[in-house]
Structure formats: C-alpha cells, structure tokens
C-alpha cells in the first residue's frame, strides 16, 4: 500500500493557507467598510452640528440686537420722562391780547413770568430759561388763561421754584410738568380733598403725596387704577366732574405742545 503523495500534501497545505488569507482579507474589508461608514456618519454629524451652531449664533445675534434695541427704547423713554424735571407750569397769568404776533406774545409772556420767578429766587432770570410757551389751544370763550410751560436749562432751577412756590400769591399757581396719568391722579386727589373739606376737615391737615391723601400725617386713602381707595373701608370711588369742583383745582393741563395759533 502506497503512502500519501508528498506533492499532494504540499498542495493541500498551500490551499489551506490561501483560504485563511482570503478569510483574513474578507475580515479586513468588512472592518474597513465599517470604519468608512463610521467616518461618514461622523462627518455628517459634524456638518449638522455646525449648521445648528450657526443657526443658534444667528438667533443669539438677533436676540442680542433686539435686547439692545429694547434697552435703547427704555433709555429713550427714561430720557423723555426726566426732561420734565427741567420744567414747571405756571397758572393764572393773563393771556396776551388777541391777534398779537406770536413773537410778541412770547416776549410779553416772558416779561410776565420773570417777576414771578424773581419773587421766588432773585438768581433766576431770562438766562436760566430755555423756552416758554402756552399749553393748549387759545379760545376766546375760555374764562381762565392757558397755563405757561417754562423750560429751564437746569433741573436745579426747576426744583428751587417748586420748593419755594408758596411764596407766590393767588391767582398764580405753580406746578410740576406732569404726565397725563399724573394729572388724572391729581384730579382724583383734589376731588377727594374737596369732599373732606366739605365734611369739616381742616384743609391744613390734609396733605397730598405720591398718589395718597394724608390727614394729620395718617393715611386716608390712595389712588389705585385711577380710583380712590379709602384706607379704612377699602371701598373705591371715582372722581366725578358733576360734583362740586374743588377751588384749588385748575383746568386739565394740555399736552406739552406749543400752540402755533392764538
């Protein structure tokens, strides 16, 4: 009996080696394929992240810009409100004769305002004033003269006049330059004050302060949502123009717009 052919054994061995090599190559190919797939997925995720980051950055920029604009609007609003700190409003100065030219009216009004201011503080003169003009539209049927808005160059002068306005005599009355909301609150307070005076409360005991009424330094009531709320009962009332008009009240101050025509 003949044994195995050595050449046949050698060929079988070579075939086995080749088969193992093919398996190894196939495994490498599979591994490379998986690696490529992972790399492609990573690249796609990176692109999506960059796009999202870009959108987020744009959104943040828009939000930041909106925030800046809002801040600027708030700043402008505050600036407009603080401008009133330079102003006072004088009531009771007689109107100029009708049909007088505007420049002549302004000059005559200034001549009437200066002595009043000098009564309060002699250091305040025409050089302290930036501008003056009447508030509201002229009407020949109006028995009361329109108030005069006085704009100072410095808030100190306006504060000095307001602090010492008690030096003036009737019919002259000096008030701060108030917003429409502040004027409405004051009107409600004056109406309630007049009711208290009619009830026998000493007018000297009544103080108006920051939307409140105090009687002998004790809180009587406060204006909330443009209604007067009594501190003791908690009930609210609204000011009625049909009731008796308080003698200390004045016509509603008109918006601070110069009148072009008398």
- Domains of the chain, residue spans: 179-253
Beta-strand runs (E) in 45-188? 87-91, 129-134, 148-152, 173-176
**Position 219 pLDDT exceeds 80:** yes
CA–CA distance, 260 with 137 (Å, rounded to integer): 8
DSSP H or E segment with residue 237: strand 236-237
Q: What angle do CA 88, 104, 132 make, to 5 degrees?
A: 15
Question: Are 230 and 220 a contacting pair, CB within 8 Å?
Answer: yes
Beta-strand runs (E) in 18-139? 87-91, 129-134
Give the pLDDT of residue 140.
73
Query: What is the mean predicted confidence (pLDDT) over 72-96?
Result: 70
**Position 70 pLDDT exceeds 50:** no
Q: In the predicted model, what is the mean pLDDT of the chain?
A: 75
Give the pLDDT of residue 47.
56
Query: What is the mean predicted confidence (pLDDT) over 9-32?
Result: 71
- Of the pLDDT bands very low, low, confident and very high (cuts 50, 70, 90), residue 125 is confident
Which of the pair, 40 or 74, is modelled with greater confidence?
A: 40
Which of the pair, 226 or 82, is modelled with greater confidence?
A: 226
Q: What is the sign of the dihedral through the CA atoms of 206, 212, 218 and 219?
A: positive
Instruction: Give the tens place of pLDDT for each residue, 195-214.
Output: 999 999 998 999 988 889 99
- Of the pLDDT bands very low, low, confident and very high (cuts 50, 70, 90), residue 59 is very low
**Position 75 pLDDT exceeds 80:** no
DSSP H or E segment with residue 147: none
CA–CA distance, 121 with 108 (Å, rounded to integer): 20
Give the pLDDT of residue 215.
92
């Amino acid at each position: 009996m003949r044994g195995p052919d050595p050449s046949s054994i050698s060929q079988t061995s070579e075939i086995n080696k080749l088969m193992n090599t093919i398996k190894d190559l196939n495994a490498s190919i599979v591994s490379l394929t998986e690696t490529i797939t992972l790399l492609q997925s990573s690249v796609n995720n990176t692109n999506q992240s960059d796009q999202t980051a870009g959108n987020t950055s744009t959104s943040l920029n828009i939000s930041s810009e909106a925030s800046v604009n809002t801040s600027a609007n708030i700043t402008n609003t505050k600036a407009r409100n603080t401008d009133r700190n330079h102003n006072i409003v004088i009531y009771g100065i007689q109107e100029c004769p009708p049909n007088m030219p505007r420049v002549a009216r302004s000059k005559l009004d200034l001549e009437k305002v200066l002595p009043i201011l000098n009564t309060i503080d002699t250091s305040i003169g025409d050089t302290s004033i930036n501008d003056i003009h009447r508030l509201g539209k002229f009407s020949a049927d109006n028995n009361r003269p329109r108030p005069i808005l006085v704009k100072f160059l410095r808030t100190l002068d306006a504060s000095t006049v307001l602090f010492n306005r008690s030096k003036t005599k009737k019919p002259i009355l000096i008030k701060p330059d108030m917003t429409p909301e502040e004027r409405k609150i004051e009107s409600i307070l004056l109406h309630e004050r007049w009711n208290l005076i009619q009830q026998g409360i000493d007018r000297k005991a009544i103080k108006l302060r920051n939307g409140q009424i105090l009687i002998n330094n004790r809180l009587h009531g406060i204006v909330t949502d443009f209604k007067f709320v009594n501190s003791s009962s908690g009930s609210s009332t609204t000011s009625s123009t049909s009731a008796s008009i308080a003698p200390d009240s004045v016509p509603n101050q008109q918006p601070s717009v110069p009148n072009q025509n008398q």
